[in-house]
């Protein structure tokens, strides 16, 4: 009987992961969110804003995105523990900080794929590439 009950779960899990993505990725994201909830309120507000901005330009694959978010959490946890003010972490221009941080995670950026797709389409349209 135990073998029968594990088979539907396995199929269900396969189907669920096909639709929603790997369960391990969701666990990692929930762990990231739990870590950020533990930060002092001002650090939490700052990391939430950075996460929101970065996710527009972040790597397209889940593993790279999660690695980026975990590194961001590490940075803010360490800064909070050391008493480093947020402005010293992000500098005077938070957008430049976010852009510089994102440059460390180039793999999987959707914008890079779209740029390549556009270039290839124009090359084909102009006859530069078959």
pLDDT in tens, 109-127: 666 677 778 888 888 888 8
pLDDT grade, residue 1 (50/70/90)? very low
| Cα dist from 41 to 6, 36, 37, 47, 108, whole Å | 43, 9, 8, 10, 31
Prediction pTM value: 0.69
Q: Are 105 and 67 in contact (CB under 8 A)?
A: yes
């Amino acid at each position: 009987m135990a073998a029968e009950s594990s088979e539907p779960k396995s199929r269900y899990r396969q189907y669920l992961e096909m639709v929603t993505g790997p369960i391990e990725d969701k666990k990692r994201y929930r762990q990231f969110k739990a870590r950020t909830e533990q930060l002092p309120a001002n650090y939490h507000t700052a990391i939430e804003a950075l996460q929101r901005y970065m996710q527009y330009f972040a790597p397209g694959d889940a593993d790279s995105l999660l690695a980026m978010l975990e590194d961001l959490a590490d940075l803010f946890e360490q800064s909070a523990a050391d008493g480093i003010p947020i402005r010293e972490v992000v500098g005077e221009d938070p957008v430049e900080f976010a852009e510089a941080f994102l440059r460390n995670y180039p793999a999987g950026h959707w914008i890079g794929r779209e740029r390549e797709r556009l270039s290839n389409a124009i090359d084909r349209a102009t006859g530069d590439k078959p």
